[in-house]
Amino acid sequence: MRPHAIVLGAGPAGLAFAHRYGSGAIVLEKSLEVGGLSRSIAIEDGVFDVGGHAFHTPHERVRELVHALMDGAWHEQVRDARVWVSGHLIAYPFQQHFEMLDDQAIVDDCRGHRVDPDSVARSAHFEEWILRRFGNGVAHHFMLPYNRKLWAGDLSEMSCEWVGERVASDRPPAPLAATGVPARQPLQSDSNVGYPADGGFGSIFVALAARCERIELGEQVVSIDPSSHRLQTASGRSWSWETIVSTMPLPRLLGCIAGCPGRLIEHASMLRAVSLKILLILARLRDRNVPQRIYIADPAIPPHKVAFNHTSSATLSARENHAITCEVSYSPRKPARPDDEILARTIDWLVANRFIESADRVVTARVVDVPYGYPVPTRDGATIVSEITHHLESMGIHSIGRFGSWSYANSDACMLQGLELADRLLAGSGP
């Protein structure tokens, strides 16, 4: 008999674990729907993803699972992403395409930087890495203001070990060797991306949930007792466990554990996260020929990313109105502006840039608050996470997922974490 496993959270990591683990896994999800940060929201004829998503992975195992779940109902296309600079759209990423700008002064500023690989490798933090990797021109005209806007804080407090998988180079990446180990590379302007042919990105996880043995919705964990191996949920129910697989944010998880050392709780409070206001704007487009994504560094414009979600599939693009999803970062250092204000200013930008005819073309608009949007890779974060996870695993609690591992992981990487943890537990080899 395999150990009795309680899975906390029905997002990509938790569902992938439960699917692979099979009998004995029970998923507890605090909300009334599955998908977590990868869920979709339907409003009238609009389909919104929380933050905007597209499927792209180097992990063959995850790709095969997703394709099996979709059973042929799948749409693939070349990614169309742009960068908005001073009223002009150029191809993404900025550092490869700044020559497209009409402003010759900006182009001249961005040209001619010579990269010293040794100097780049010695960068002490993210801000220094940007300056050494791209030069003052690219840094000051886009990379620094964009990343300050996205990360809502001081870039000098961030590490730079993660940049190879996330920050596009100023030249296209070299192809992987045929015998090389697949690794994530930053998305480029010609990357191929996939999406469910029907519905939103969350359809993947609705299908994955259907393959899990047992999911209990509306069950929020409030206490975990390692000595009695019981946990309680806000509904008053009590559950026994032999193994816990948690996708909860680490500070929240530690706050639920009876007798958790105060030192660990204090260290977990030092982990930083970016919160998000997700703007859901359903509108009639002026022209259906719009890019999939637009990245905006200008701090006067609320979103750092605008996703035209109905470009994701032929089924969605045929609908009368278009779902526009915008991300606005906030943090204690960059507090959120009022919802009405950021909606109005974003709609004004959409009208001024001729994506929609006028504000009258907006069918509906609302804001979804996401307290945990992106984990910030601070310079001491990896040490803190290692200390916490070591303690948790000594009690039979495994923490995975974006905020369970406190890593900037996309849904495919979270799914892989769930699958691989299930493999290890089924094999009895431990972490």
Q: What is the DSSP string of 160-206?
A: STTHHHHS--SSPPPPPPTTSPP------TT-EEEEESSS-TTHHHH
Dist CA 28 CA 236 (whole Å): 13
pLDDT above 60 (res 181): no
Identify whether residues 210 and 292 lie together within a single domain: no
- Predicted confidence band of residue 180 (pLDDT cuts 50, 70, 90): very low
Identify whether residues 390 and 291 lie together within a single domain: no
Identify whether residues 244 and 177 lie together within a single domain: no
Q: Which two tokens stand for residue 332?
A: 């204690």
pLDDT at 170: 61
Dist CA 122 CA 137 (whole Å): 21
Of 190, 218, 240, at which residue does a domain stop?
190
- Predicted confidence band of residue 176 (pLDDT cuts 50, 70, 90): very low
User: What is the average per-residue pLDDT within 158-178?
Assistant: 68
pLDDT at 189: 61
Domain total of the chain: 3
Dist CA 367 CA 343 (whole Å): 8
Closest to 19 in 3D by CA, of 189, 152, 211: 211
Dist CA 293 CA 171 (whole Å): 20
Identify whether residues 168 and 46 lie together within a single domain: no
Closest to 84 in 3D by CA, of 370, 354, 343: 354
**Which domain, by its residues, includes 293?**
40-65+74-79+191-197+273-375
pLDDT at 428: 84
Quick one: DSSP state of residue 405? T
Asked whether 130 and 205 are in contact (CB, 8 A), the reply is no
pLDDT at 324: 98
pLDDT above 90 (res 109): yes
The 10s digit of each residue's pLDDT in 49-89 is 998 899 999 999 999 999 999 999 999 999 999 999 989 99
pLDDT above 90 (res 4): no
Give the DSSP H or E segment for 224.
strand 221-225
Phi-psi region of 9 (alpha: psi -120 to 50; beta: other; left: phi over 0): left
Quick one: DSSP state of residue 142? I
Identify whether residues 307 and 403 lie together within a single domain: no
Identify whether residues 31 and 55 lie together within a single domain: no
pLDDT at 3: 66
Out of 48-57, 177-186, 246-255, pick the least confident. 177-186
Specify the CATH number for the domain of residue 226: 3.50.50.60
Three-state DSSP class for residue 333: coil
Global pTM?
A: 0.94
Identify whether residues 186 and 87 lie together within a single domain: yes
Asked whether 269 and 406 are in contact (CB, 8 A), the reply is no
Of 359, 375, 391, at which residue does a domain stop?
375
Identify whether residues 158 and 295 lie together within a single domain: no
State the chain's mean pLDDT as an integer: 93
Dist CA 5 CA 316 (whole Å): 38
Dist CA 275 CA 234 (whole Å): 24
Angle at 410 between CA 298 and CA 309, to 5 degrees: 60
Give, to the nearest 10 degrees, the angle between helix 60-70 and helix 411-427: 100
Which residues on neighbouring strands pair with residue 83, listed in sequence order?
90, 295
Which residues on neighbouring strands pair with residue 158, listed in sequence order?
378
The 10s digit of each residue's pLDDT in 304-317 is 999 999 999 999 99
pLDDT at 32: 97
The 10s digit of each residue's pLDDT in 110-154 is 999 999 999 999 999 999 999 999 999 999 999 999 999 999 999
Of 132, 160, 190, at which residue does a domain stop?
190
The 10s digit of each residue's pLDDT in 340-357 is 999 999 999 999 999 999
Give the DSSP H or E segment for 416.
helix 411-427
Q: In 33-125, which residue ranges form alpha helices assigned H by DSSP?
A: 60-70, 94-97, 104-110, 117-121
User: What is the average per-residue pLDDT within 217-230?
Assistant: 97
**Amino acid identity of 70?**
M
Three-state DSSP class for residue 94: helix
* Beta strand 293-296 pairing with 273-283: unpaired
Identify whether residues 12 and 131 lie together within a single domain: no
Three-state DSSP class for residue 13: helix
Q: Which two tokens stand for residue 139?
A: 């840094």
Identify whether residues 95 and 239 lie together within a single domain: no
Identify whether residues 260 and 394 lie together within a single domain: yes
The 10s digit of each residue's pLDDT in 268-282 is 999 999 999 999 999
Give the DSSP H or E segment for 19.
helix 12-21
Identify whether residues 359 and 217 lie together within a single domain: no
Residues with Cβ within 8 Å of 230's Cβ and at least 6 positions away in sequence, in order, are: 238, 239, 240, 241
Residues with Cβ within 8 Å of 124's Cβ and at least 6 positions away in sequence, in order, are: none
